[in-house]
Chain A
Amino acid sequence: MNWLRRGSSEPLWKEEFSVRTADERYVTRRQLTKFLVLTSLGMFVGNIWILIRSIFYKAPIYPHQPVAQLGEIPVGGVKLFSYPTKEDHCIMIRTAEDEYVSYSQKCTHLSCAVYYSQAENRLECPCHKGFFSIKDGAVLQGPPSRPLPRIVLEARGEQLVAIEVKA
């Protein structure tokens, strides 16, 4: 019965379909080009998606929400609040006797929480050292490419009311 035994340790299918491994893995010029063109199509579809989102974009309606009392925080002081939803954390700074500014606390780079540095008079993201201007939320330094969304505040009587988010 020795004549029935195979001499090779390779599986039977490899002997019967003897395709070289290098040939199995060979990517033809046509296959590579097809892959690149399909990726290009994907990029185009992504741009179309952004275009559709831009066309059908509706400006959100923001609630008017009291966020602090006038004089509640001292000059140079900070108050944290949520606006327009509980998940959107914001930071308010009293920069002068009658001047308040407020921004989203989410860094526009990777969404770390920014904090106010009184010594440098700027908003700082501790994750990647992204710094934002206290005046308008513009990027001063670091990886973020967009300014911090600004929360528009309005004084109504003794209250400070958040009325809008400006990207």
Chain B
Amino acid sequence: MIAILLIVQIWLLSAALESFLSGKLHTALSAAIFSGVMFLICLGLYAFVDRVDSEVRGSGNGG
């Protein structure tokens, strides 16, 4: 899931750069917002994985 979001973010960055270089400045804001949202989702997923990992290790050590 994170990898898919990352691929979309890479595409978004290249599209935003392409637009900027061709003089279309209005696309930068929406691209930045979408990219930020995707980063937050990635961060949330990381927190989830981190928590699950900790729980698994915790129960592993305890058992």
State which residues 19-67 of A face B: CB under 8 Å: 28-30, 33-34, 36-37, 39-41, 43-44, 46-48, 50-51, 53-55, 57
Contact of A145 with B by CB under 8 A: yes
CB of A30 within 8 A of CB of B36, answer: no
Contact: A40 with B42, CB < 8 Å? yes
- On chain A, the number of residues with a Cβ less than 8 Å from chain B's Cβ atoms is 25
Q: A54-B25, A146-B22, A167-B23 are in contact. Are A39 and B6 (CB under 8 A)?
A: yes
| A44/B9 in contact, CB under 8 A | yes
Main secondary structure of the interface of B (DSSP, over half): helix
B binding-site residues for A, Cβ under 8 Å? 2-3, 5-6, 9-10, 12-13, 16-18, 20-23, 25-26, 28-29, 31-32, 35-36, 38-39, 42-43, 45-46, 49-50, 53
The 10 closest A-B pairs by CB, nearest first: A43-B9, A54-B28, A167-B23, A47-B35, A44-B39, A54-B25, A40-B42, A47-B32, A51-B32, A51-B28
